Amino acid sequence: MECTGQNSPLGNHTALVEFILIGFSDVPNLQGFLFGIFLIIYVFILTGNSLIIIITKADPSLQTPMYFFLRNFSLLEICYVSVTVPRLLADLYRQYGNISLLACAIQMFFFLILVDTECFILTAMAYDRYVAICKPLLYPVIMNNRLCMQLAVVCWTAAIPVHTIFISVVFSSTFCGCNQLNHFFCDAPPVVQLVCGDTFMFEMLTYAVAAFGASIPSFMILGSYVKIISTILKLPSATGRAKAFSTCSSHLMVVTLFFASGIIVYMKPKSTYSTGIDKFLSLFYTVLVPMFNPIIYCLRNKDVIVALRKFLQKWTVL
């Protein structure tokens, strides 16, 4: 049974030692079906992103900054879904969602870091498209190997100090009262709701962390695309405009899907908080969007399709 009510200084202060992830226990008859669906999705994500990494690394024609960042993005997607989906599958299989505070803290730590890393890599990919379309003559000079490596390192490491502090603050607090999380993994908003006493400071901290990891990158991406679209519209031929837009349309679709659902969960006011809706939105950007990414980048990218065909032909011959 799901807990209700808000922790207060006068409430039950029995310190909690574990959480219960409710997950999809409210639909017990569908747990086997959901296990099968999520397992198929997980295998598809691992296979699709692994293929993208192998293809863009092996094909000489794809040794460009755009595909360098796409490799990083695909590797990130594998890590990203592996933080939440295996645990979700295990809970669905055993119909048992207990998780210790330590395990919850570790899962939240890596999840939040990887979420921000995805935001930063998407921002780096937007900058790459901005330089390619708005400054094509300077593209080889600006997007050199050194800058690409530096951007990748920053994307993968920038969020570590921020979330080390955030997780330390949240999990050094006392949790009391209800220990049930109406979620399928340890995400920040539902965990913060279980902190004893007034959670205002923690909620503001969550907003600040979300602004660092999502809002700022989203504004940077928006600025890049304003300039990209402005440049594309000035091109003299319709063919040139279509070709230029096709180079960034896949990235724009992924950005829209990921940021829209993520920002709604982390930045919306507490008064509109709904565990059911938030759980669905979290499922959307933690499982469904990573499933769409290999499809979007493969089906909408002729170079990747050609490289994939060559790769498959090579292996079928062997």
Q: Is residue 13 in a domain?
A: no
| pLDDT digits 0-9 by tens, 204-215 | 887 788 777 777
CA–CA distances in Å: residue 64 to residues 71, 123, 143, 247: 11, 17, 9, 13
Does the pLDDT of residue 153 top 70, yes or no? yes
Q: Is residue 12 in a domain?
A: no
Q: Residue 171: CB partners within 8 Å, gap ≥ 6?
A: 101, 104, 105
- pTM for the full predicted model: 0.87
Q: Is residue 80 in a domain?
A: yes
pLDDT band at 139 (very low <50, low <70, confident <90, very high): very high
Q: Is residue 245 in a domain?
A: yes
| Res 1: pLDDT | 46
| Res 192: pLDDT | 85
| pLDDT digits 0-9 by tens, 249-298 | 778 888 888 877 766 766 665 555 555 677 777 788 788 888 888 888 77
Q: Is residue 261 in a domain?
A: yes
Q: Which residue has the higher pLDDT, 267 or 230?
A: 230
Q: Counting Cβ atoms within 10 Å, is residue 61 exposed (0-12), middle (13-18) or buried (19+)?
A: exposed
**Joined tokens for residue 261:** 């659902």
Question: What's the total number of domains in the chain?
Answer: 1
Q: Is residue 3 in a domain?
A: no
Does the pLDDT of residue 309 top 90, yes or no? no
Q: Which residue has the higher pLDDT, 272 or 181?
A: 181
| pLDDT digits 0-9 by tens, 4-54 | 444 544 444 556 778 888 888 877 788 889 999 999 999 999 999 998 999
Query: Rounded to a whole number, what is the distance in angstroms from the first to the last CA of the chain?
Result: 56
Q: Is residue 10 in a domain?
A: no
Q: Is residue 147 in a domain?
A: yes
Measured CA to CA, the distance from residue 206 to residue 271 in angstroms comes to 15
Q: Which residue has the higher pLDDT, 231 or 3?
A: 231
Containing structural domain, residue 67: 18-317
| Res 267: pLDDT | 62
| Res 120: pLDDT | 94
- Domain of 272, CATH number, reads 1.20.1070.10
